[in-house]
A and B are shown apart, each in its own frame.
Chain A
């Protein structure tokens, strides 16, 4: 079945630690996205990529980093510079502009 796989489902971060969230898609989509979801605030864009080896900052990129070395993969690193990382992180992909985004089932990140 085609889709987006996010892992792990739950992740815990210690103070001063970087953690990486995985996102893989087998939909052959060019564009991939990372969102952060906090209660009552909807979805906020962290980073997006429309082509391999290229990506752009979204509205809340500070404290996060990404890479896009393969079309299928778009990992997100939450760095120690992100002081409030507790949230639900969603990865999405789409084929073209004006087409729906397909979402993974998210990773819930918490602070130890």
Chain B
């Protein structure tokens, strides 16, 4: 009963390119949308989060775009670097349900 659907499952981007990961949610009561970054052998760590009162939030090279009417939000990584290679998870609210994850590989 996945309430947050994430795509793509894997993504390969060239260094300097833009990485885009998408998530869709079902429950319109959700009001907190975090993204987590996980490196191999480590636990996930909060990367950036947004609340639905804004349509976009930017922190450095990372941007969340939020579309409340479509119940979708996405993570954009600008100027992607090899060090960004990791698995990214979206989540909705503190519902304890995460997207299935996207494995990002940035090629030098």
Contact = CB atoms under 8 A, between A and B. Distances in A.
> Interface size class for chain A?
20 to 34
B96 A40 contact: no
Interface stretch (A66-74, A77-85, A100-108): A100-108
Contacts of A103: 36, 43-45
Given A98-B31, A98-B32, A42 B98 contact: yes
Chain B binding surface, main DSSP class: loop
A100 B98 contact: no
A42 B43 contact: no
B32 to A, nearest CB: 4
A55 to B, nearest CB: 13
A15 interface: no
A42 B100 contact: yes
Contacts of B89: 42-43
5 closest residue pairs by CB, A with B: A103-B43, A98-B32, A42-B100, A100-B46, A43-B98
Interface of B: 1, 6, 9, 31-32, 34, 36, 41-46, 49, 89, 93-94, 96-101
